[in-house]
Amino acid sequence: MKSGPMIRGRLAPSPTGAQHVGNARTYLAAWLSSRAQGGEVVLRIEDIDSPRIKVGATSLALEDLSWLGLDWDGEMVVQSKRLNHYRQALDFLLERELAYPCTCTRSEVQQLASAPHEDLGELVYPGTCSGRKSSSLKELVGKPHCLRFRTPRTPMTFNDGFHNWVTLNPGEAGGDFAIWRASPGPESLSEMPAYQLAVVVDDASQGVTEVIRGEDLIPSTPRQILLYQNLNLQVPAFTHIPLVVGPDGRRLAKRHGDTRLHSLRDKGVKAEALLGLLAWSCGWLEKPAPVQAKDLIPVFKIQSIPREPFVLRQKHLEDLGYSL
């Protein structure tokens, strides 16, 4: 019997769109990692990006996970119902002058910033408003603004479960990043946490000990570690795995055809067949063959996953009985 702290992973779909084959591969790895260690898996719906939320996407995501046989422990957490938790974390940072209000518009940042960082795909904030104190917030009541975290311009190193030691400089990668936004709404300002703050608060609240996700999120990890540390929260173990990409080498999108899980399901594709393809792509099966998620637990090894992204081709889906 294993001893020590309980391993707890998480599945965190975002209803900004339908879940696709690439999401399924990452969810499978996250679920298997926890289950293979006798751990728990918690579920969270990341729905704070309200302008991009698609009606019905949450229900579809839950159906997709159930179809794949990826279960979870405890009650589902929904970010949009936890705004008070994020506000408390924000206030903690503001009280310590670790965050400051920023009134720069995107066009102003574009004019002043250096080129977008290639990994984050975002502008490097030049620090225009960094001289502001948190007390200046009272001057911005009713005005659009964001709150930025004061980000050190020093390299950070963390141990990744797939890539080993990774060193990045979050200050150079994007500068002081947004953790809260007050944006114009239909009647008044809409206040919402940014992704970086919400995910840290939620993972800590849910007791998550390991985070397994796509390697496109590696640049976000130093930012999140900084927030964990400055909020006095336990930092989980991070593992970033290669993505599923199309034949052009870019991550799955509409341009690659319909790879949405509910579309596969509607066309009669069996979950076991898709899981077999994904397991083979991760090095857990010698060839694609129908399998249930639970039957992959004994053969799961994160280091068996190939170092390169998995290129999803039309033939792979045709072998499942599905055409793009």
273-295: pLDDT as tens digits: 999 999 999 999 999 999 999 99
Reported as type and span, the H/E element at residue 211 is strand 210-214
* Residue 306 confidence (pLDDT) above 90: yes
- Give the pLDDT confidence score for residue 1 in this predicted structure: 41
SS3 assignment, position 179 = strand
pLDDT class for 254, splitting at 50, 70, 90?
confident
Whole-angstrom Cα distance, residue 324 to residue 320?
Answer: 11
pTM of the model as a whole: 0.92
In this structure, of 24-33, 57-66, 115-124, 266-275, the range with the lowest mean pLDDT score is 115-124
pLDDT tens for residues 157-195? 999 999 999 999 998 888 999 999 987 766 556 889 999
pLDDT tens digits, one per residue of 79-138: 999 999 999 999 999 999 999 999 998 888 877 765 554 455 567 898 999 999 999 998
| Domains along the sequence of the chain with CATH | 8-80+242-319 (3.40.50.620), 83-198 (3.90.800.10)
The conformation of residue 78, written as its DSSP 8-state character, comes to E
**Would the pLDDT of 261 be above 90?**
yes
DSSP string for 115-146: EEETTTTEEE---TTTT--GGGGGGGTTS-EE
Element (H, E) at 240: strand 237-241
Residue 194's identity, in one-letter code, is A
- The pLDDT confidence band at residue 3, using thresholds 50, 70 and 90, is low
For residues 171 and 264, give the distance between their C-alpha atoms in angstroms, rounded to a whole number.
42
Give the alpha-carbon dihedral of 44, 213, 64, 202, to 10 degrees.
0
